[in-house]
Amino acid sequence: METHFELNEVTKRLPKHLHKFIVKQPYDEYTAQNQAVWRYVMRMNIDYLSKVAHESYVDGLQKTGISVESIPHMEGMNRILKEIGWAAVSVDGFIPPNAFMEFQAYNVLVIASDMRTIDHIEYTPAPDIIHEAAGHAPIIANPEYAEYLRRFGEIGSKAISSAKDYEMYEAIRLLSILKENPNSSKKEIKEAQEKVEWLQNNMGELSEMAQIRNLHWWTVEYGLIGTVENPKIYGAGLLSSIGESKWCMKEEVKKMPYTLEAANVSFDITKPQPQLFVTPNFAHLSLVLEQYANTMGIRTGGLKGVGKLIDSKNLGTIELSTGLQVSGIFTNVISDERNQPIYIQTTGPTALANRDKELIGHGINYHAEGFGSPIGKLKGINIPIENMSPRDLEAYGIYEGQNVTLEFEGGVKVEGEVITGTRDLRGRIQLVSFKNCTVTHGDTVLFHPDWGIYDMAVGKEIKAAFSGPADVNSFGDIGKVSETKTHKINYSTNERKLYQMYEDIRRAREEKTITESKVQEVFDLLKEEFPNDWLLPLELLELAIEEDYAIKSDLKKYLENLKGNSGYTNLIENGLHLLPQHSM
């Protein structure tokens, strides 16, 4: 099988429909300034986070093969991640939530391949490789947290979305792309931000996916651990943001115990978070996740579960008490006076399955126009069809070649000639097929004999309702890649000249070929042509201190002056803090 990404013991288990989200890491497109930004952020993070992050963070950096000196290669990360049963793939920015969760369920981290620009060094609205690789990856070296992450993906990928959720995803994706691109106009950003804010305020009742995303945000992205009075950081959004990792520890940010209530607390990606949740330990995360899963359609089923699928307008599955699974786009459900579903209907391609494996002969080509079936028990008969023995079925006239009228408690009537029944391996009847069949509910005709063979699902109740197909192979290439692509930044000739200077210094540092004359040459060019660049002078000062060059005093004065006359005060101050000041 040919793929456009590296296959290993973990990634080879990924279903084919997820492959389209994976892109080749554009490593050659990272500029030398990008590399310097990575190095600055990582040095800052290790210096600060070693004091305030969960103990797994620093150990995890080593275990997952993440270097301070350079942006990681995906292949190198994968060689090390496989030792803890995980893998990483490169993607283009935000991907749809269900796909994101499904990757996680297969122990695969999705890593946004882009790298934040120097203008967003403290925080970026777009997912980038600092956030994903240096934020998410280290904590999964903790086995208990890794299992929480996998389980979250497994449950989250079954969460039912609303029609507005995908619109919100696309709006956030566009906003993050525009904000990260220095060539975007203020008008574009303003319009995109206004759309996100409008959607955030007009989502209506939160869907399962919206609630599961809230739980993900307040744990995996912005989670704190320990006590409310003395929390530590473990969320990737905080671990990858110099600004927010410091901000979150201030008293202005309210700290609350993490409970199921967090599912109803929405977030705004455009602003610092006003409150954060603190879990006492990683085991508590799994407890809350299971509590939420108990409220989801996948565990409750029923009329409400089918209703969620209809509202979603997306591919979903119901599972009946017999184990039969119906996958398609649900468009109608009839209920009785007790609010019990008595008939379900899909429109368009539908597949039937058992135990997540498609039933032979019941794929989307056979059920191309949709599928409908009564749910429940027969009127006046205590034994549900699913519990009937062959002798019971014969007694009630439900056997091959027999014309039969089946009237269900909810009022649905099925009249036709029985062709055959389909059973599972344990002998439980799943389907009964009819010819010359009419299905009615009162005066409403639900199936007409002219429409062909009628396959009636057997099940007294709906046990589960969830997003996506039962068998991932039933519908081919499910899910879609956003048409909004991450913008490739166009660099000016002057910018390329600056990046070459970064590259020269980077190479000289790595090869230990730095000279004072080279430092002086680059410093002079910076002062003359790039007076607003602060990061390269900082790297020059670091080298000058290490080599005890006389120019270190001039560089220090230059940075102090730049610090006092720019918006880079904190960034420069933090960078100077990392240098061996006693050598000055």
Q: Write the pLDDT tens digit of every residue in 353-369.
A: 999 999 999 999 999 99
> Given this model, what pLDDT does residue 3 score?
60
Residue range 489-502: mean pLDDT, rounded: 93
Kindly tell me if the per-residue pLDDT of 194 is higher than 50.
yes
Percent of the chain residues topping a pLDDT of 70: 98
- pLDDT band per the 50, 70, 90 thresholds, residue 581: low
Alpha helices in 53-162 (DSSP H): 56-63, 74-81, 97-105, 129, 137-139, 143-156
Residue 372 confidence (pLDDT) above 80 = yes
Closest CA to 310 of 350, 351, 346: 346
Neighbouring residues of 383: CB distance < 8 A, sequence distance ≥ 6: 392
CA–CA dist 22, 224 (Å, integer): 30
Mean per-residue pLDDT of the chain: 91
pLDDT at 504: 96
Task: Please report the pLDDT score of residue 268 as a whole number.
Answer: 77
Mean pLDDT along residues 535-542: 96
pLDDT at 125 (0 to 100): 67
Question: Are the beta carbons of 42 and 134 closer than 8 angstroms?
Answer: yes
pLDDT value for 537: 96
Looking at residue 1, what is its pLDDT?
41
pLDDT greater at residue 170 or residue 355: 355
Q: Which two tokens stand for residue 206?
A: 């939160």
pLDDT at 70: 93
In this predicted structure, the answer to whether residue 445 has a pLDDT above a threshold of 90 is yes
pLDDT value at 582 more than 80: no
- Which range, of 15-29, 221-235, 284-298, averages the lowest pLDDT? 15-29
pLDDT computed for residue 137 by the predictor: 86
Mean pLDDT of 139-146: 92
**Which amino acid belongs to residue 395?**
A
The CATH number of the structural domain formed by 11-252+259-276 is 1.10.800.10
CB 140 within 8 A of CB 296: no
Q: What is the helix (H) or strand (E) element at residue 135, kind and residue range? A: none
**Which of the listed ranges 122-126, 469-473, 560-564 does the model predict with the highest average pLDDT?**
469-473
Is 309 or 194 the better-scoring residue by pLDDT?
309
d(CA 358, CA 471): 6
User: What's the mean pLDDT in 474-502?
Assistant: 86
Among 48-57, 67-76, 195-204, the range scoring the smallest mean pLDDT is 195-204
Q: How far is CA 545 from CA 11, 33, 36, 578, 582, in A?
A: 45, 21, 18, 12, 9
* 141 has a pLDDT exceeding 50: yes
Please, which pLDDT band fits residue 446 given cuts at 50, 70 and 90?
very high
pLDDT at residue 583 greater than cutoff 50: no
Q: Give residue 5's pLDDT.
A: 67
The DSSP annotation for 309-374 comes to HHHHTS-EEEEETTSEEEEEEEEEEEE-TTS-EEEEEEEEEEEEEETTEEPTT-STTTTTTEEEEE
- Taking residue 503's Cβ as centre, other Cβ atoms within 10 Å add up to 15
Query: Does the pLDDT at position 96 exceed 60?
Result: yes
Mean pLDDT confidence for 504-517: 95
Calpha distance 90→394 (Å, rounded)? 58
Q: How far apart are the first and last CA of the chain?
A: 59
- Grade residue 77 by pLDDT with cuts at 50, 70 and 90: confident
CA distance 514 to 505: 8
Beta-carbon-side half-sphere exposure of residue 191 (alpha carbons within 13 Å):
7
Confidence band for 555, pLDDT divided at 50, 70 and 90: very high
* pLDDT value of residue 4: 60
